[in-house]
Structure 1
Amino acid sequence: MEQNPQSQLKLLVTRGKEQGYLTYAEVNDHLPEDIVDSDQIEDIIQMINDMGIQVMEEAPDADDLMLAENTADEDAAEAAAQVLSSVESEIGRTTDPVRMYMREMGTVELLTREGEIDIAKRIEDGINQVQCSVAEYPEAITYLLEQYDRVEAEEARLSDLITGFVDPNAEEDLAPTATHVGSELSQEDLDDDEDEDEEDGDDDSADDDNSIDPELAREKFAELRAQYVVTRDTIKAKGRSHAAAQEEILKLSEVFKQFRLVPKQFDYLVNSMRVMMDRVRTQERLIMKLCVEQCKMPKKNFITLFTGNETSDTWFNAAIAMNKPWSEKLHDVSEEVHRALQKLQQIEEETGLTIEQVKDINRRMSIGEAKARRAKKEMVEANLRLVISIAKKYPNRGLQFLDLIH
């Protein structure tokens, strides 16, 4: 890419201002190549939101967009007024962290039941995106199948691998992941929910006692193995970017999404992808350090030549052939650069993916993590807001306000 990261982000923001919104897919497409970390992505999404540009799952209806456009200027003016007033009265404002926290929490609205379900679905969507990304990483499926083989050989327990399966036909009936957190339900509704939770808890205990149906597990893992073989063979025969291969990858993701992995196993798969990405970053940073810092090759030239050719030395030979003052110096680091390129080639052989594909999968995984984390943060804030709103109803009852909250 010829554009530097700042230019790409500027284009992203410009697009958002013109449309009045951005979708997560657009954020993914316009993110700089080197941004794959979930924390970085979350910061960028937060920055975009702070500018009055909503980041959404899909493009909104025209009516919703008109409503958003009508309120955008008012929101911006209000935000500017708040910033101005905070600067003008900074000396007079309290520095008590508790009061500052209470004031901040006061801006968080109590959730309605619909809002709670919406957040729960967004958490689920984010987790699903992570799991779909993991499904595209061949080593993840291989690992899962190997672990199940250990279960079949009675070397491991099935309950240490999965907690159950998701019914693909029940996807529309997703329940919130946390019951009535920060909601505005009546006490009767809350009591009813608590009774249902207790009954569910009894059912869960029974499930734990009876374990997971081994026949169902055998059937699901056989389906996963069969689809994995078809996907792998199609990719080998036609290439990963072929339409037929993409269709099989999608089918594999749909099968894999049905598995509810034990958190420890899910984290292991996600972390293994992160480790692979770290290995890629290490070699790419080394190559850039050798060329840009040591040989004084302009960074723009390096990015233009290197991106998309990470495991080939054609870009390096082209850089030498440019006959620039720094071109001759590249001969001095040739051996080290080629050693790093070989390590990148080794990663491609291990994963069955190109470096570009490894980055793309990790970026989509990170966006899924950022989506789930943002939704969880909203749920936690709403929960705290509910606690504070309840505590405010019981002042001067023998306990300090903070003790009531605790």
Structure 2
Amino acid sequence: MTDVVKQQSRLKDLIAKGKEQGYLTYSEVNDHLPEDISDPDQVEDIIQMINDMGIQVFEVAPDADELLMAEGDSSADDIAAAEAAAALAAVETEAGRTTDPVRMYMREMGTVELLTREGEIVIAKRIEEGIRELMAALAHFPGAVETILNEYDLVAKEERRLADIMVGYLDPAEDVPSALEVAEAAADNADSDEEADTGPDPVEAKKRFTALKRQFNKTEKAIAAKGRNSKEAVKEMEKLGELFKFFKLTPRVFEPLTDTPRNLLAAVRDQEREIMRIAIRDCKMPRKDFITTFQGSEADLKWVTRLTRKKDYGSRLAAEKENIQRLQRRIIQVEEQSGLSVSEIKEINRRMSMGEARARRAKKEMVEANLRLVISIAKKYTNRGLQFL
């Protein structure tokens, strides 16, 4: 068995333990790391990976009310463990060779391939794939597409510029400008006395927004006639997402759109954590029982009643029934406010997070590859003036 496979197996065990108890301690993580990894930054990177899987890492075992609700699909554990094992293998080869942070950094950067034009295109397209995945999920959130259509109506009335709401399109076949081309274009615009109109083609925009509005109307009719969860409505929403995901929005428009579903999820999570604190800490309900029974019953006011028959903790839950149902009613208010069930809110956010994570990883690769290119050029000029690093 290779070292990477061994590490992956150990990490899977660690992740399984974290999922089961809802947290890990630093000592537990440390016990599963290779002995020659001691650099704090390397350890912190690995802990961040674990946090990204939805597992909190604490100094000491926490109280029940400190734990967060378990989140995410367990099917992702194998993928996450493989990625973490690969990262461990990469950092392990660098550990112990030197304590000079500059040399360690230079050696780490040396493992990054030089950025070529082809590589730049591949990474840029991966970034766009992640954003498209996020946008397709966002189209399922009530009001998101309608907001963009309303913004475009202002453009049509000449009350707003097209460049204020979008910067282009996320088409897979569209050529990706190189960093040099972007820099030269920016320099040309800076030298020009006139304000450059760098917005999308208005003719193409009109065609795309017309198609988006047509599909939006069809989707709304299907939801009104058959219900949001009907096959017809789901099919139309998927079509809407396929159109919406190619719009590259400006940060001014994009950020509030994505913040809304995230804020709703945060509101749900706040109530879930409080309910969990009452059930687990105050009523001594086993955490495993809570997660098994509460998931899918977040807005079900009969959830407590069904559990009061339990011999061990049922009577304690009955005493807290009013408090738990008060918190559940707040969750119901979130559902009514959004027009979505808790499971739908979580699913939209999950898909958005997956797309965002994919784009973020690709952006990180792009930054590292660009920096590697800068270092490779700078090395040619060492000892010819000021020292490099």
TM-score by length of 2: 0.72
RMSD of Structure 2 on Structure 1 (CA) = 3.7
How far apart, CA to CA, are the structure 2 residues paired with 1:397 and 1:389? 15
How far apart, CA to CA, are the structure 1 residues paired with 2:230 and 2:18? 29
Equivalent residue in structure 1 for 2:259, among 242, 249, 271: 271
For residues 307-318 of structure 1, what are the structure 2 equivalents within 5 Å? 307-318=295-306
1:185 paired residue number: none
Structure 2: stretches of 5+ with no match in the other structure: 1-15, 23-52, 56-68
For residues 207-226 of structure 1, what are the structure 2 equivalents within 5 Å? 208-209=196-197, 217-226=205-214
For residues 266-305 of structure 1, what are the structure 2 equivalents within 5 Å? 266-305=254-293
How far apart, CA to CA, are the structure 2 residues paired with 1:107 and 1:49? 17
Equivalent residue in structure 1 for 2:71, among 35, 52, 57: 35
2:346 paired residue number: 359
Tell me: CA distance 1:208–1:5, structure 2 relative to 1, closer, same or farther (3 Å).
farther
- The number of residues matched between the two structures is 328
Tell me: CA distance 1:120–1:253, structure 2 relative to 1, closer, same or farther (3 Å).
same
Structure 1: stretches of 5+ with no match in the other structure: 10-29, 54-74, 180-192
1:113 paired residue number: 117
How far apart, CA to CA, are the structure 2 residues paired with 1:318 and 1:177? 60
Tell me: CA distance 1:316–1:4, structure 2 relative to 1, closer, same or farther (3 Å).
farther
Are 2:370 and 1:383 aligned?
yes
For residues 43-82 of structure 1, what are the structure 2 equivalents within 5 Å? 47-52=81-86, 82=93
How far apart, CA to CA, are the structure 1 residues paired with 2:139 and 2:183? 32
How far apart, CA to CA, are the structure 2 residues paired with 1:176 and 1:151? 26
How far apart, CA to CA, are the structure 2 residues paired with 1:310 and 1:288? 11
How far apart, CA to CA, are the structure 1 residues paired with 2:251 and 2:156? 21
1:400 corresponds to which letter in structure 2? Q
CA offset at residue 139 of structure 1?
2.4
How far apart, CA to CA, are the structure 2 residues paired with 1:149 and 1:199? 30
CA offset at residue 176 of structure 1?
3.4
How far apart, CA to CA, are the structure 2 residues paired with 1:4 and 1:320? 29
1:371 paired residue number: 358
CA offset at residue 51 of structure 1?
2.4
Structure with greater contact order relative to length (CA < 8 Å, sep ≥ 6): 1
State the Cα deviation string for residues 210-229 of structure 1 (Å, max 9, x = none).
86566655554443333223
Tell me: CA distance 1:212–1:392, structure 2 relative to 1, closer, same or farther (3 Å).
closer
Secondary structure of residue in 1 paired with 2:143: helix
CA offset at residue 305 of structure 1?
1.2
State the Cα deviation string for residues 315-345 of structure 1 (Å, max 9, x = none).
22111122x2321112232222112211211
1:56 paired residue number: none
1:325 paired residue number: 312
For residues 178-197 of structure 1, what are the structure 2 equivalents within 5 Å? 178-179=178-179, 194=181
CA offset at residue 240 of structure 1?
3.4
Q: Is the 8 A contact 2:166 2:199 kept in 1?
A: no
Tell me: CA distance 1:124–1:8, structure 2 relative to 1, closer, same or farther (3 Å).
farther
How far apart, CA to CA, are the structure 2 residues paired with 1:116 and 1:371? 16
Q: Is the 8 A contact 1:126 1:371 kept in 2?
A: yes
Secondary structure of residue in 1 paired with 2:248: strand
How far apart, CA to CA, are the structure 2 residues paired with 1:249 and 1:345? 24
How far apart, CA to CA, are the structure 1 residues paired with 2:112 and 2:202? 46
For residues 133-144 of structure 1, what are the structure 2 equivalents within 5 Å? 133-144=137-148
CA offset at residue 116 of structure 1?
2.2
1:6 paired residue number: 19
How far apart, CA to CA, are the structure 2 residues paired with 1:141 and 1:295? 44
TM-score by length of 1: 0.69
State the Cα deviation string for residues 132-181 of structure 1 (Å, max 9, x = none).
11111112123323334444566544432223456xxxx442333653xx
Q: What is the percent sequence identity of the aligned residues?
A: 45
Are 2:358 and 1:345 aligned?
no
How far apart, CA to CA, are the structure 2 residues paired with 1:365 and 1:238? 26
Tell me: CA distance 1:347–1:274, structure 2 relative to 1, closer, same or farther (3 Å).
same
1:173 paired residue number: 173
